[in-house]
Amino acid sequence: MFGGLKSRGPRPAGASSPWWAALASIVVLAGCSGNLPNLDSSPGAPSQATSHIGEGKVKAGLILPLSASGNAAVAAQSMRNAAEMALAEFNNPDLQLLVKDDSGGAPGAQQAAQQALDEGAEIILGPLFALTVAPVGRAARARGVPVIAFSTDANVAARGIYLLSFLPESDVDRIIGYAASQGRRSFAALVPVNAYGSVAEAAFKQAVGRGGGRVVALERYPLDKARCATSRRRRAGPTPSLSRTGPTPCPRWCRR
């Protein structure tokens, strides 16, 4: 399901503390709620209203794009709800979540991280987007605080920055590997025009090359439904080298 915790450093300090089980549950539930391939966003208006979940002494920052544009704000709210639900499952875990809004942009992420750290956060959960991970990581590293981010871009993992997310590289490797084991050698792909799509495309080309296959078609589609349909029609013509003929349906996240 998840790519797992990936980092270039030791595990977070305090991982054996009594509140760690509650925190781990929050991370997993929040990650399940927010890691979708169609998430795209542009920064919204800065919104740094103080909010917290729980009343424990141990404080953890939770940085999400709550006021970002597009469906990112919806995913962020789902992640916040999941975190609140996870915390409620434990009996007095002595944990308090400091919820901060990064507005989906790097400046907001840096401000959110700074506020959480100033309020005593001992660990930071989030942010969601790759471009917001670095500023959060820099602020946290200066205080010796670990970060568990939800980005799907493995390149942003660094010392003290851990990733818990659906990593497209792992998904693509498994799909191409299975297809190759069934004797398939020609491959086509539909990828979204966003950061996730760029990572998936690179992983797709590498996986096909490693398996001795060839890429016969590659189509990039925008997240806008009307333009997505246009991309689909361009790929609807027959491709003799593929095992399937007929119109190629839009991916499930494009149909939403």
Assess if residue 4 is contained within a domain: no
Assess if residue 6 is contained within a domain: no
- What residues contact 101, with CB distance under 8 A and at least 6 apart? 46, 47, 48, 49, 63, 64, 65, 66, 67, 76, 108, 112
Please check whether residues 37 and 158 belong to one and the same domain.
yes
* CA dihedral (50, 51, 56, 62) positive or negative: negative
Assess if residue 12 is contained within a domain: no
**What is the Cα Rg of the chain in Å?**
20
Residue range 97-121: mean pLDDT, rounded: 96
Assess if residue 251 is contained within a domain: no
Helix residue ranges, H only, 7-129: 20-34, 72-88, 106-118
Which pTM was predicted?
Answer: 0.64
Assess if residue 93 is contained within a domain: yes
Assess if residue 86 is contained within a domain: yes
Helices then strands, each counted (H, E), the chain: 7, 8
Is 10's pLDDT higher than 90? no
Tell me which residue range forms the domain holding 142: 20-163
Higher pLDDT, 155 or 30: 155
Q: Taking Cα atoms as reference points, which of 213, 206, 130 lies closest to residue 170?
A: 206
Q: What is the C-alpha separation between 15 and 18, in angstroms, rounded?
A: 9
Token look-up 């119109």 returns 247
- What percentage of residues in the chain have a pLDDT greater than 90? 44
Please check whether residues 192 and 125 belong to one and the same domain.
no
Please check whether residues 127 and 152 belong to one and the same domain.
yes
Please check whether residues 135 and 81 belong to one and the same domain.
yes
Assess if residue 254 is contained within a domain: no
Please check whether residues 143 and 184 belong to one and the same domain.
no
- Say which CATH number the domain at 204 has: 3.40.50.2300
pLDDT digits (tens, 9 = 90+) for 157-205: 999 999 887 778 888 999 999 999 999 999 999 998 887 888 889 999 9
Query: What pLDDT is stored for residue 115 in this prediction?
Result: 96
Please check whether residues 211 and 147 belong to one and the same domain.
no
pLDDT digits (tens, 9 = 90+) for 13-72: 444 454 555 566 566 555 555 555 455 555 554 444 558 898 889 999 999 999 998 888
- CA–CA distance from 216 to each of 171, 235, 240 (Å)? 20, 11, 10
Query: What pLDDT is stored for residue 242 in this prediction?
Result: 44
Q: Which helix (H) or strand (E) holds 97?
A: strand 95-101
Query: What pLDDT is stored for residue 64 in this prediction?
Result: 95
Assess if residue 250 is contained within a domain: no
Please check whether residues 172 and 51 belong to one and the same domain.
no
Out of 131, 163, 195, a domain closes at 163
Q: How many domains are there within the chain?
A: 2
Helix residue ranges, H only, 144-194: 168-181
Q: What does the buried/exposed string (b/e) look like for 3-30 if buried means 16 or more CB atoms within 10 Å of the residue's CB?
A: beebbeeeebeeeeeebbebbebbbebb
Residue 215, token pair as written in the block: 């890429």
224: three-class secondary structure by DSSP: coil
pLDDT digits (tens, 9 = 90+) for 72-88: 898 899 889 888 888 88
Residue range 126-130: mean pLDDT, rounded: 92
Q: Taking Cα atoms as reference points, which of 143, 141, 146 lies closest to residue 126?
A: 146
